[in-house]
Structure 1
Amino acid sequence: MGNPSGPPFDPDDPDRARRERDTEPIPRIDPDDPPSAYGPGPYGGDPDDAGYGGAYAGEGRSSRAWARDPDGFPDQPISEDELAGLRSDATGMAPRRVLPLEDEPSSLVARYLFPTERYRGEWKRHWIHLTTPIIVGVAATFVLGYLSGFLAGRDVGALTTVAVLLWFGVMGWVAWRVADWWYDRFILTNKRVMVVAGIITRQVAMMPLTRVTDMKYEQSPTGRALNYGTFVLESAGQEQALRVIKNLPNPNELYLRVVEEMYEPQAVEARLGKEADEAKADDGA
């Protein structure tokens, strides 16, 4: 009997096979079933196949790793070529990555991280941040040293003592600024950016990566020559505890690291996981 809602059935219709193929239902894939349950092809478990079958096993002959979402379903594939460009030891035209100061957070930073937060790195500000105290310290040494020698030749011991004490005061201020620079850290995790500063009065500012709506860095001619810059973070909120961060080293590489963490977190996890596996393999060898 023909189909009342369509054209009559014609066994000699040359387009009948094509229509039946186009309307063939797409098989549903249960992630709990073994790949071999679907047979060969793009949905099956043929190890020679470069489709989904090899991907469900983790990594097939296609050399493609799959990033998974929390529910276990495959997300977008990450190829070996993409992973090679993300490795810190990549050569050629791949961008050079900024390495953390340590593999694990320092004691100064660890106290501000919660257990489920993944540490990505911490950086001190560029040494240009110490330009003013260094210039003041050098100038004070020459000026007060000359003044002390001049006063000592005129038998005015009291003024000489004042000049020496003044020099100690200036050098104490310089040492304080250097220590403050040492404890000032920019921190990146998989959830936020932070700045920890201060020796006696500690200041901790942070911004979640999900709240960052815009980010840029600026470099003056001197900054381009010495490789430092100023980061500006924009957020949806009006009041921001962390917006302008001055004198950060390697701004281009640091910018790429933050943007990668914001937009390609699966790629970061895949790269770090592969580097950890390679390190274990080297230790075992």
Structure 2
Amino acid sequence: MRLARPADLDIGRHLLREEGEVIVDVVHHHWAAYTLPVLESAVAVLLIGATAVVPAALSTVPFVLALALFAHAAWCYAREHKDRFVITNMRVFRVHGVLSRRLATMPLHRILDITVVRPLHGRLLGFGHFVFESAAQDQGLRDIRYVGRPDERDLAIQRVVQRSGLRGPRHLN
């Protein structure tokens, strides 16, 4: 079991502690999810540097573009940073959102299938994406992107489902 970081303190209030629910894993986005904000910030720094070489009358244009890029990069970073996928002994849920928070929950017994998608760059960098299939087709917990160590996380979910007794042992006939 992993201890929650200070940013995860809001996750604890979503647990059913009186029912015995405990956290098995809190999944943060893989560092690859932050590449766009980092690249945008680097371009913004270059634009600020460009203000020194352009005429003074035009220097506000790259400066304003740099501010806009910094603002967008900060928003993208915050969006990824506030997105948490939580595996408990009873359910999986996702808490995300910057200004308004959204919570999507799926009990373990409703998970019919988990597809782990590992694109080539994800295999090289160590991340993948989860696609959950359940009896309800419209749900807020279908795609979980940029999951680090996806095979280990998939096995953790399968272990929790197995230990909960929702799916009995397979018998070969």
TM-score between both structures, scaled by the size of structure 2: 0.84
Q: More deviation in 255-264 or 108-117? A: 108-117
Distance, in Å, in 1 between the alignment partners of 2:127 and 2:133 is 20
Question: How much has 1:101 moved relative to structure 2?
Answer: 4.8
Residues 1:102 and 2:1 are matched in the alignment: no
Please list the CA deviations of residues 57-79 of structure 1 after superposition, one character each: whole Å capped at 9, or x if unmatched: xxxxxxxxxxxxxxxxxxxxxxx
Question: How much has 1:103 moved relative to structure 2?
Answer: 8.9
Matches within 5 A, 1:235-254: 235-254=134-153
SS at match of 1:150: coil
Residues 1:141 and 2:35 are matched in the alignment: no
Aligned to 1:150: 53
Aligned to 2:105: 206
Q: Does structure 1 conserve the Cα–Cα contact (< 8 Å) formed by 2:36 and 2:73?
A: no
Question: How much has 1:264 moved relative to structure 2?
Answer: 2.2
- Distance change (3 Å), C-alpha of 1:139 and 1:101: farther
Distance, in Å, in 1 between the alignment partners of 2:6 and 2:97 is 21
In structure 2, runs of 5+ residues without a counterpart are: 166-173
- Distance change (3 Å), C-alpha of 1:114 and 1:264: closer
**Aligned AA (2:9):** S
Question: How much has 1:130 moved relative to structure 2?
Answer: 1.5
Please list the CA deviations of residues 112-145 of structure 1 after superposition, one character each: whole Å capped at 9, or x if unmatched: 1122222212121111111222222212322442
Among candidates 23, 33, 38, match of residue 119 of structure 1: 23
**Aligned AA (1:114):** L
- Distance change (3 Å), C-alpha of 1:164 and 1:252: same
Among candidates 30, 36, 58, match of residue 132 of structure 1: 36
Distance, in Å, in 1 between the alignment partners of 2:100 and 2:73 is 18
Question: How much has 1:259 moved relative to structure 2?
Answer: 0.3
- Distance change (3 Å), C-alpha of 1:177 and 1:104: closer
Higher relative CO (Cα under 8 Å, sequence separation at least 6) belongs to 2
Question: How much has 1:161 moved relative to structure 2?
Answer: 2.9
Distance, in Å, in 2 between the alignment partners of 1:104 and 1:247 is 21
Residues 1:262 and 2:161 are matched in the alignment: yes
TM-score between both structures, scaled by the size of structure 1: 0.53
- Distance change (3 Å), C-alpha of 1:162 and 1:175: same
Aligned to 2:81: 182
**Aligned AA (1:129):** A
Q: More deviation in 195-204 or 130-139? A: 130-139
Query: What RMSD in Å do the two structures reach over aligned CA positions?
Result: 2.2
Distance, in Å, in 2 between the alignment partners of 1:139 and 1:200 is 26
**Aligned AA (2:16):** F
- Distance change (3 Å), C-alpha of 1:155 and 1:251: closer
In structure 1, runs of 5+ residues without a counterpart are: 1-98, 267-285
SS at match of 2:94: strand
Matches within 5 A, 1:21-60: none
Matches within 5 A, 1:266-281: none
Q: Percent identity?
A: 31
Question: How much has 1:231 moved relative to structure 2?
Answer: 0.5
Q: More deviation in 221-230 or 104-113? A: 104-113
SS at match of 2:64: helix
Structure with bigger gyration radius = 1
